[in-house]
Amino acid sequence: MNERDGDNKNGVELRVSMLIRKSLSFGIAAMVFALGVASYADEETEDSPFAIVSAEGPPPSPHVMGWIDSRNLESLNGSWKFLVDPMQVGTPGSLFGGWATTRAPENAYQLIEYSYTDAVDIRVPGDFNTQLDELLFYRDTVWYQRHFDADLTQSGRYHLWFGGVNFETTIYLNGHAVAHHSGGYVPFSVDVTEQLQANQNDLVIRVNNRLGADTIPTERTDWWPYGGLTRDVMLVHTPSAFIVNASIRLSDDRSTLSGNIKTSGMSLGEEVVISLPELNLRVVTAIDDSGTARFSIPADVELWSPATPRLYDVLITSKSDRIYDRIGFRTIETKGTRILLNGEPIKLRGISTHEEPIGRDGVAYSRSDMRELFSEAKQLGANFVRAAHYPYSRHAAKVADELGLLLWEEVPIYWNINWQNPETLEIARDQVSRLVERDWNRVSVVVWSVANETQFSQPRMAFLKRLIDDIRSLDSSRLISAALLGDTERELQHVAAHLAAYGLESDIPSEAEKQIFRQVLSEARENTPELHGRFNLVITDPLGDLVDLVSYNEYFGWYYAPFIANQTGVSERTLRKLMLEFMPNVTLGSVFNKPMFISEFGAGAKAGKRGEGVWTEDYQAEVYRAQIKMIVNSPQVQGMTPWILKDFRAMLRTLGGIQDFRNRKGLIDENGRRKEAFRVLQDFYASEWSVENP
C-alpha cells in the first residue's frame, strides 16, 4: 500500500467513525445510510477503474460541435437499459452506493440493490414518458445504461454528443462523471478521450425531468415536458486538430458569402479551405490566433425561397479534418412594417407546431417524423412554421430547408420565469447560444424567438435584453421576436365595452342582457377608447422596441368570452355570438414602426364533433373565419401562425371525453384527421392575401 492509499484509508475510517457516532442518535437506518456513504467514499480512490470524480461532473464543451452529420460517428441510439429512481437512491453517495456504474454481486452474500442487466429496455432517442405506461406523468430521476466498444486504433479525440437531454443530466463513462448539463432541448458534447476504453465501455446517464420555479421552462407548461434522452446520442471521432463549427451566410446585399470557422488544436496560419463545387468557388483562409479562420468572397448564388428551396454542397477542409453540409442562402429583413425575403415583400402564411409526430405518441425524434409533420404544413399551403415553444431536434430545420418552409425557432421562456435568478439566466443563455450555434446555417430559420407570453417587468426586460444581445452577437442575419401578451386586463375591458355597444344594436342579447350592457357602458372608464364601431388593439409592450418582429398571441373567439361572461353576467353564448360578428371590426396593430405578426390564435375542437357550441369543428371553423377577416383588416400584420397544426399532449387539459390530457386546438387530431378549420385556413392561404408571395 503506498502512502497515498494509506492516507485515503485513514480518511475513510475517520469519516466512518464520525458518521457512525453521529448516526447513533438517529437509529439504525441512519447508520446504514452513513455506511453507504462511507463505502461509496471508499471507492473514490483515483486508482479504482470506477472512481467517481464527482457526482455532478464538469460542464460540457462550451460550444456546439456543428456539421455533426458529416462526421465520423458511431450511433449510440437503440435499446438501452432503464431504471426509475423516484427516491434518488441511485445518486452517488446514497445508501445504495449510487448507480453510476454497472455492477453485479461478486458472490451470493453481496448486497447490491440495483441491476442494469435485469432492467427494462427503452428506446433512445425518445421520451420515457410515453414508452412505459406507468411513467406518463412521471417527473423525476431515471437512469439509462448501455455498453459500447470503441475503435481506439485511430488517433485523435473522441466525443460523446447528445442532441438534447430533458432536462438535467449527468453523464458517467466507466464510472467517471464526465459532464453535467441543465436545460433540455439543445445539443452538447464532451471530450471523453481520456476515459474511453477499447472494450465494454459502460455508459450510464442520470436524467431528471423535474421542472421548478427556477428552471427553463418552469413547471407549468401547456405541453408535455417529455423527459429523457429525447434526441440522438453518438460517439464522434475527430482528429486531434479539428473543426468545431463553422457559419456561412450571404451578405445583406446578396453579393458575398462570408463566415467563421472555429477550430481546436490547429496552429496559427494553418490553412482551411471552403468550397462550393456547384458554384466553382474555392476560398483558402488561415487560422488566426484565436483558432478561428474567417473568409469573405463575392458569389452569385441562386437564392433559396419557399418556391425554390435551393441548397448547395459546402465543404470545409483542413490538413487533418473535413466537414460537409447542404446549405442555402437568402436574406431576410424588415422595412417599416413589411418583411422582405430576398429583397421582396413576403407575407408569412404560417402554422404553429409542437414537436410531436402524427399518429404516434411522444416526442418526434426522427427526420421522417419531422418530414411528415412539416409536409402537413405544406399541404395547408403554409410557407412558414412556428416551431413552438422550445428547440426541436436538428432534423426539424434540415427538413424545413429541404421542403422550403421558413422557420421560427424558440427557447422555452414561457409564462412565469424567475427573472432575478442568475442561474436561470445562465440556463437561458446556454439554450439560446446552443440553438443558434446548431442552426446558424439553416436557411429556413428566419426568426429566433426569445419568449412566449411573459408579463412586463423591469427584470424581465433586462433578462430578455441579455438574450437578444447574445443572439445579435452570434448571428445578425435573422429577425428576433417574442410572442407578446399585451395588456390583457385593459384589453378585456375595452373588448367588453365594444361588445356592449355592439350588442345594444343586435338581436342576439336578451332584454335583460341589454340592460347589463347599458350598465357596462355607463361604467366604462375614461380610458376606454371611443366606441365608434371599430376597435384598434394596439400593442405597447416595451419589448417591442428590442425585437424586429412584433408578435402577438390573441384568443378572440375563444378565451375572452368566458372572462367577460364571468365579470358581467351576460351569457357566454351571447358573448361568443356577438364576438364572432364583431371581430371583423377589430384591427390589430402596435405603436412600433415594425411588422406585426399574429403568433397565435385558435379554438379547441374534438375531431368529428359537429354542430353548435365549443369543442365542435364548426365552432372552431367559425373562429378561423372571423380571425381571418380581422387579420385581413389589419395592415400592419404581415403573417400569422395559428395555434396549432396538431392536437398535442398537455397536462393542463384535463376535460374527460374531450381533452383527455390533450390540447384540442389542432387543425388535425393526433392521428392526422383533418378538422373543418384546416380547410378554412387552406382556402385562405390559397387566396389573394398571399398571392404575391413566393
Does residue 666 contact residue 675 with C-beta atoms inside 8 Å?
A: yes
Q: Which is nearer to ligand GCB, 329 or 552 (CB)?
A: 552
552 contacts ligand GCB (rule: CB under 6 A) = no
* Spatial distance between the Cα atoms of 25 and 32, rounded to a whole number of angstroms: 13
Q: Which is nearer to ligand GCB, 374 or 643 (CB)?
A: 643
CB of 54 to ligand GCB, least distance (A): 37
* Spatial distance between the Cα atoms of 97 and 50, rounded to a whole number of angstroms: 12
Which of 384, 624, 643, 678 binds ligand GCB (CB under 6 A)? It is 643
CB of 567 to ligand GCB, least distance (A): 20
Is residue 337 classed exposed, middle or buried when 0-12, 13-18 and 19+ CB atoms within 10 A define those classes? middle
Q: Which is nearer to ligand GCB, 594 or 653 (CB)?
A: 653
553 contacts ligand GCB (rule: CB under 6 A) = yes
Does residue 331 contact residue 342 with C-beta atoms inside 8 Å?
A: yes
Segment holding 34, helix H or strand E: helix 28-42
Nearest Cα residue to 201 out of 139, 146, 137: 146
| Terminal alpha carbon distance of the chain | 76
Please give the size of the binding site for ligand GCB, defined by CB under 6 A: 9
CB of 299 to ligand GCB, least distance (A): 40
* Spatial distance between the Cα atoms of 444 and 542, rounded to a whole number of angstroms: 28
Q: Binding string, 411-430, against ligand GCB, x = CB under 6 A?
A: --------------------
Is residue 557 classed exposed, middle or buried when 0-12, 13-18 and 19+ CB atoms within 10 A define those classes? buried
Q: Which of residues 653-682 bind ligand GCB (CB under 6 A)?
A: 663, 665
449 contacts ligand GCB (rule: CB under 6 A) = no
CB of 629 to ligand GCB, least distance (A): 21
Does residue 250 contact residue 256 with C-beta atoms inside 8 Å?
A: yes
Q: Which is nearer to ligand GCB, 190 or 539 (CB)?
A: 539
Q: Which is nearer to ligand GCB, 371 or 664 (CB)?
A: 664
| DSSP reduced 3-state for 130 | coil
According to DSSP, residue 134 is labeled G
Does residue 548 contact residue 592 with C-beta atoms inside 8 Å?
A: no
Nearest Cα residue to 627 out of 587, 686, 660: 587
CB of 644 to ligand GCB, least distance (A): 7
Q: Which of residues 376-395 bind ligand GCB (CB under 6 A)?
A: 389
* Spatial distance between the Cα atoms of 385 and 480, rounded to a whole number of angstroms: 15
Alpha-carbon separation of residue 81 from 115, 228, 587 (angstroms): 9, 13, 56
Which of 168, 222, 355, 409 binds ligand GCB (CB under 6 A)? It is 222
Q: Which is nearer to ligand GCB, 259 or 412 (CB)?
A: 412
Q: Which is nearer to ligand GCB, 146 or 389 (CB)?
A: 389
* Spatial distance between the Cα atoms of 513 and 524, rounded to a whole number of angstroms: 16
CB of 222 to ligand GCB, least distance (A): 4
Which of 513, 600, 669, 670 binds ligand GCB (CB under 6 A)? It is 600
Q: Which is nearer to ligand GCB, 603 or 637 (CB)?
A: 603
Q: Binding string, 165-204, against ligand GCB, x = CB under 6 A?
A: ----------------------------------------
Phi then psi dihedrals of residue 112, to 5 deg? -130, 120
356 contacts ligand GCB (rule: CB under 6 A) = no
Which of 77, 353, 424, 452 binds ligand GCB (CB under 6 A)? It is 452
* Spatial distance between the Cα atoms of 442 and 534, rounded to a whole number of angstroms: 42
CB of 415 to ligand GCB, least distance (A): 8
453 contacts ligand GCB (rule: CB under 6 A) = yes
CB of 607 to ligand GCB, least distance (A): 16
Nearest Cα residue to 182 out of 145, 219, 207, 213: 207
Could you tell me the sign of the dihedral formed by the alpha carbons of 610, 616, 620, 623, in that order? Answer: positive
Q: Which is nearer to ligand GCB, 229 or 396 (CB)?
A: 396
Task: State the residues that interact with ligand GCB by CB under 6 A.
Answer: 222, 389, 452-453, 553, 600, 643, 663, 665
